Each structure stands twice: as C-alpha cells, then as structure tokens.
Amino acid sequence: MLIAAALMWGLHRWLPLFVWIAPPWNRLGVLPAALGIAVAAAAIIRFRQAHTTTDPLDPGKASRLVTDGVFSVSRNPMYLGLTLLLLGWAIWVGSVSPWIIPPLFVLYITLVQIIPEEQALSRLFGEQYLASRGRVARWIGRR
C-alpha cells in the first residue's frame, strides 16, 4: 500500500495531467481515508478478539474463521480499508494521474493476496468458509 501511495505521489508530482480537485476541496480526501483506517482497524480488532492471525503472508495460521462484525459486510475489510485510504490520498493530491493506481492496487491485491487467502481458508474451514463466501462479497456487500 505504501508503494502504491508513493507511486500516486510520483504521478501527481511529475505527471499530474491536470488538477481537478483543488484546495480546499481536496481536503475531503480525509473522509474516505479515515473510513479506511476505521474499517481496517475494526478488522484487526475483530481478529485479535477471535485470537486468530492478522498475518496476510501466512493465512494457513488462521485458527478461526471470523464472519461477524465488519466481516459480515466484507470478506476482506483490511484490504478494503487500504483501498479507501488510497482513494482518500488520490482526492488529497488532487490531480488526475494518481487515479490509475487504486484500480491497479485492487487488481494486484486480489490476484496476489486475496485469491491465495481464499484458497487457504477453503482448505482450512471447508463448508463453513464456503457458506460465508456465499453470504458476503469479496470486497463489500451481502449477497
């Protein structure tokens, strides 16, 4: 996420195309950023309450499937939170070119992190995970 934010800054600095959200309106970027922090924090807190791992590099360490709280509306609230943070940053910097990065971040995180996590959770929790997957969308929403 930090690499994505740095790339956004670089695009804004050296290839802004044009500024379309000028001060003071760019400060509205604080709203999605704050929401993103809150969503990610709620996910981390819920993981800790469930006494399971928050380590995205080794989903096989998960000791419990968490499906309540923020996980009842997103199977990936930590990544959703990071994406909201990037969207807030895009608004804050105000130029057009950084907006290419959040969709690329979503694509990257889905392919490299989320899909392997889903495979690990499916192996670990079987039908319980598949039922949760049928109720809650990968990014946001209930089915």
Q: What is the pTM of this model?
A: 0.94
pLDDT in tens, the chain (143 residues): 999 999 999 999 999 888 889 999 999 999 999 999 999 999 999 999 999 988 888 888 889 999 999 999 999 999 999 999 999 999 999 999 999 999 999 999 999 999 999 999 999 999 999 999 999 999 999 98
Q: Name the residue among 135, 90, 86 with its Cα closest to residue 107.
A: 86
Residues 6+ apart with CB under 8 A from 141: 73, 74
CA terminus-to-terminus distance, the chain: 28
* Residues 70, 44 contacting (CB under 8 angstroms): no
Task: Say if CB 52 and CB 121 are below 8 A apart.
Answer: no
